[in-house]
Amino acid sequence: MIRKIFFISCLLILKNMVTGQTGNTDAIIFNFNFNQSPFHLEKEYITDAGEAVRIYKMKFYISGLTGVTTKGDTITLSKEHFLVDAEDTSSQIIKVQAPKLQYLVFTVGVDSLKNTSGIQSGVLDPSRGMFWTWNSGYIMAKLEGVSSQANTAGNRFTHDVGGFRSPFNSTRKIQLLIPQNKINNTSVYIEVNLAKWFTGKYSILLTEQPICHTPGKLAMQLADNFVTGFTSLEK
């Protein structure tokens, strides 16, 4: 009898996996824009502060992916870390298995345990260029490019945002309300407005601050700016 029940439940689970229930969430998709214009690497944009920027690199980690279902239950979507890279579209799609979600909650950055527990592999491999070797810890998000306003060699600006120790913990938790206007859509779309990196909360001028390479006040401000650029849309 027990075996029968087990067998039937296995079949049911399998069926769910294959067909997928209506309204289930199966992917979270990140999409970049620059003040609502489609974003392309190396293309010139003008920031809200009037500075011209061409962005060559844009990467950030996310972790602690959880969701709140339409029924109000909090569920863990993944315990993994993900590295979202503007250069790599496959990194912008995160597969999940969850019922219909009302809220999506995640952290931009790497959780402090991974910053202190030695060498990691996969997307957290230090060779991915998102790790500070001289001051152990991950770069949570990096935006690098060229701006004629940056008074640096090659007009390059490098904003590497990291730091996990208080008072300069640069990880930021984000909670997004997912619009419920269309049922049957199985992906959650997250728009990331990169114009907010410079002016979301604080106005960071590249004339004045083209370089961020250490945990500290500037990294904290850039982190605060960055998270104001995240919104959820249902397409």
Q: For other proteins, which is the closer residue by CB, 168 or 189?
A: 168
Q: Which is nearer to other proteins, 22 or 127 (CB)?
A: 127
C-alpha distances in Å from residue 62, one per residue of 6, 28, 209, 235:
37, 12, 25, 22
- Minimal distance in Å, beta carbon 118 to other proteins? 4
User: From CA 143, how far away is CA 161, in angstroms rounded?
Assistant: 8
Could you count the other beta carbons within 10 Å of the beta carbon of residue 28?
28
Q: In sequence order, which ranges of 121-205 are alpha helices (DSSP H)?
A: 196-199
Q: Interface mask (CB under 8 A) for other proteins, residues 210-229, using x and -?
A: ----xxxx------------
Q: Which is nearer to other proteins, 117 or 184 (CB)?
A: 117
Q: How many CA atoms lie within 13 A of 76 on its CB side?
A: 6
- 92 or 115: whose CB is closer to other proteins? 115
CA pseudo-torsion sign 92, 130, 158, 111: positive
| Comparison of 50 and 118: residue with beta carbon closer to other proteins | 118
CB 129 within 8 A of CB 183: no
Restricted to residues 116-175, the positions that interact with other proteins (CB under 8 A) are 116-121, 125-127, 131, 133-137, 165, 168
Give, as ranges, the residues between 58 and 117 that touch other proteins (CB under 8 A): 115-117
The site map against other proteins for 26-65 (x = CB under 8 A) is ----------------------------------------
Element of type H or E holding 63? strand 52-69
Mapped onto helix, strand or coil, the DSSP state of residue 122 is helix
Alpha-carbon distance of 71 to 176, in angstroms, equals 16
Q: Is 46 helix (H, G, I), strand (E, B) or coil?
A: strand
Total residues binding other proteins (CB under 8 A) = 22
In the complex with other proteins, the residue whose CB is nearer, 60 or 131, is 131
Interface residues with other proteins (CB under 8 A)?
Answer: 115-121, 125-127, 131, 133-137, 165, 168, 214-217
